[in-house]
Amino acid sequence: MSGGVLGGIAGKLRREGPRGVVRRAVRRAYQQLDAHTLDFGLLPEDIADSTRLELGPVPPVPRGRPLVVGWLTTPPAAGSGGHTTMFRMVEALEQAGHRCVVLLYDRHHGSAAAQAEVIRDCWPGVRAEVRSVDEGFDGLDACVATGWESAHVLAVRPSRPLHRLYFIQDYEPLFSPHGSEYELAADTYRFGFTNIALGEMVHRRLREDLGVSSELVPFSCDTSVYSLHNQGRRSGVVFYAKPGLARRGYLLGTLALAEFHRRHPDQPIHVYGSPVPELRFPVVHHGRLTPEELNALYNRCVAGLAMSFTNISLVAEEMLAAGCVPVVNSSPDARADLDNPHVGWASPTPGGIADALFEAVGAADVPARAAAAAGSVRTDNWARTRDGVRRIIEDTARGGAPVDWVRVAGGAGATSSPS
């Protein structure tokens, strides 16, 4: 190796340290090996095209027997909010007497048995059979896609008539820069499935951006876990950190917290979620927490960062329920399903977010504000959403007419037996 090369490496070591040099080497290898293709969630043969799809009519399922409903999803990790919401809907169908099957799609062919064990451990209320999608769709009356990748698979793989639905928790084209993956995600909403939009933001985006219709079910909050216990002194702020998800605003959050710490070094900063690199300010690392542990943490803190640049994060209202003021980047998308005056709506800049945190910890009567925040949350504990999704699936499979389930769900029309 030449002296010039060695000198260059030595200079980088002095400037960046061993960690920086290793990161440069890893990035170069990542680029040269085209490793980013591993992040793409579909096999080429599983990509559908709305301009080529011919799904055809599906006969209605006779009344008088329970449905068998598949839920097609990627393998969940412990603590996944999207999977938790999906499993609430699975449980609603099971409690109504229907049978569910969870079909796991993993383009990297991980162990379905190990993935099923995660579901059994983390969502013990789910009784559904769990199997790989490679085992097929036999025996299903209907199947629900739960993300844009699974929608492509549901369009392509079934070889017999099947009622296809799509439980849409976020407008997923926004997960990617406007390019190939953006358009592949957007195209899934044109596949002709029965689209079930969770919340006004998704419902509006589908209609206004794509001219696509959807059945609307409301957002909610898990008040069986998240609730106000501490009506006394609070201190500090909490940060839901997801460095790998651009829509969760990790970089803006850390920049804002650095400014917040300079102005309020007496206030502890708690971080939970994904592992985070070394930060420029002191934090208390909690890693992954159970919902019960999260509720206890929220009850200790004055405020928390719940950033989201697509649909509102479930974290925001869960913080509210525990009396912790969520600071959220202000946008029409975020406000569509949580237009709550107790949220610290912030300009999406480091200074704007830091100002909102500063205002929360400097409030004149923190316990009173915590009580008011907790009293502002939805109290149905997902009952209206669960009932709406169940009814839409039943209606689609039985051949019934579409209904605005937001108006009827959660009222006297709810039933506990199969239709």
Of residues 112 and 237, more confidence is placed in: 237
- Local confidence band at 404 (pLDDT 50, 70, 90 cut-offs): very low
The rounded distance, in Å, linking the Cα atoms of 197 and 86 is 12
Mean pLDDT for the chain overall: 89
Listed residue (81, 246, 253) closest to 175, CA to CA:
246
The predicted model scores a pTM of 0.86
pLDDT for res 9? 61
Within 13 Å and on the Cβ side, how many CA atoms surround 318? 23
- CATH class name, domain 46-220+382-408: alpha beta
Please tell me the distance from the alpha carbon of residue 16 to that of residue 241, in angstroms, as a whole number. 25
Q: Residue 194 class from Cβ within 10 Å (0-12 exposed, 13-18 middle, 19+ buried)?
A: buried
What share of the chain has pLDDT > 70, as a percent? 86
pLDDT, residue 108, reads 87
Average pLDDT over residues 179-203: 97
| Nearest to 285, CA basis, from 238, 329, 328, 229 | 238
Confidence of residue 326 (pLDDT cuts 50, 70, 90): very high
Kindly state the average pLDDT of the residues 243-257.
Answer: 93
* DSSP H helical ranges for 33-144: 81-95, 112-122
d(CA 101, CA 68): 7
Q: Does the structure show a pLDDT above 90 at 26?
A: no
pLDDT of amino acid 268: 97
pLDDT reading at 288 higher than 80: yes
pLDDT tens-digit series, residues 225-249 = 999 999 999 999 999 998 888 899 9
Q: How far apart are CA 26 and CA 105, in angstroms?
A: 29
- Report which secondary-structure segment, H or E, holds 273: strand 269-273
Q: Where are the domains of the chain?
A: 46-220+382-408, 237-374
Helix (H) or strand (E) segment spanning residue 210: helix 200-210
C-alpha span between 216 and 187 (Å, rounded): 19
Residue type at 290?
A: T
Q: Using one digit for the tens of pLDDT, what is the confidence trace for 52-64?
A: 999 888 999 999 8
* Confidence bin at 414 (pLDDT 50/70/90): very low
DSSP at 312 = P
- Supply the pLDDT for residue 319: 98
Percent of the chain with pLDDT over 90: 76
pLDDT in tens, 68-93: 999 999 999 888 889 999 999 999 99
pLDDT in tens, 154-177: 999 999 999 999 999 999 999 999
Q: What is the per-residue pLDDT for 107?
A: 86
- Is the pLDDT at 112 greater than 60? The verdict is yes
Decide if pLDDT at 200 tops 80.
yes
pLDDT band, residue 36 (cuts 50/70/90): very low
Q: How confident is the model at residue 33 (pLDDT cuts 50, 70, 90)?
A: very low
Do residues 371 and 229 make contact, with C-beta atoms less than 8 angstroms apart? no
Q: Which residue has the higher pLDDT, 355 or 18?
A: 355
Characterize the bridge pairing of strands 325-329 and 303-305: parallel
* 237-374 fold: Rossmann fold (3.40.50)
- Stretch 259-264: mean pLDDT, rounded? 96
Distance (Å, rounded) from C-alpha 323 to C-alpha 384? 23
**pLDDT value of residue 140:** 98
The reply to whether 237-374 shares the fold of 46-220+382-408 is yes
The per-residue pLDDT for 14 is: 72
pLDDT at 302 over 60: yes
